[in-house]
């Protein structure tokens, strides 16, 4: 589980970094891209919340994994709702995909908390890689 906790912590850092959405500042000057700018700003706020929330859950993974799983499930639901409300098709597509990936991750955390096995831990490692890619895709969608 220690490898999983380290990977989990690294993922949280990636999510926080993605929340800065480097592309948003670059597209602010494009007059007809206001919807994209707003979508990126909106989802950036949600990404920061998820990243910060996951960082807070890392210590709980070992001390109270069921509570951590419940909290991550709540974050996944909140992020999914926010992604669904986006109007910009490009940003929404990336955000909805990331939300689905976060939901799978939350379920796998729940499964691991309920039945800690090597198979569940291995599945979680794959989830972390997929999540990292999904959140990076949001950043990419916000670039011009």
Mean pLDDT of the chain: 81
Q: What does each C-alpha distance from 21 to 38, 81, 109, 142 come to in angstroms?
A: 12, 19, 26, 7
Query: Do 42 and 53 touch, CB atoms closer than 8 A?
Result: no
pLDDT of residue 28: 44
Structure tokens at 109: 């955390």
Longest Cα–Cα distance in the chain: 52
Model pLDDT for residues 49-92, shown as the tens digit of each residue = 888 998 888 888 888 989 999 999 999 999 999 999 998 999 99
Q: What tokens were used for 85?
A: 């409300």
- Work out the angle at residue 23's Cα, subtended by the Cα atoms of residues 101 and 45, and round it to the nearest 5 degrees: 55
Nearest to 143 by CA among 97, 94, 86, 100: 94
- The pLDDT confidence band at residue 29, using thresholds 50, 70 and 90, is very low
| pLDDT per position as a tens digit, 3-23 | 555 555 556 555 655 555 544
How far, CA to CA in Å, does 125 sit from each of 36, 101, 108?
A: 32, 13, 10
Answer whether residue 27 shows pLDDT above 50: no
Q: Tell me what the mean pLDDT of segment 118-126 comes to.
A: 77
Query: How far from chain centre, in Å, is Cα 49?
Result: 9
């Amino acid at each position: 589980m220690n490898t999983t906790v380290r990977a989990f912590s690294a993922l949280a850092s990636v999510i926080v970094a993605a929340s800065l959405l480097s592309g948003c500042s670059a597209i602010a000057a494009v007059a007809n891209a206001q919807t994209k700018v707003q979508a990126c700003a909106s989802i950036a706020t949600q990404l920061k919340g998820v990243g910060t929330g996951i960082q807070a859950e890392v210590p709980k993974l070992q001390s109270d994994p069921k509570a951590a799983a419940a909290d991550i499930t709540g974050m996944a639901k909140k992020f999914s709702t926010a992604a669904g409300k986006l109007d910009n098709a490009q940003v929404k597509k990336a955000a909805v995909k990331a939300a689905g990936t976060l939901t799978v991750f939350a379920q796998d955390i729940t499964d691991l908390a309920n039945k800690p096995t090597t198979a569940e831990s291995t599945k979680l490692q794959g989830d972390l890689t997929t999540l990292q890619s999904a959140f990076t895709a949001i950043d990419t969608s916000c670039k011009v």
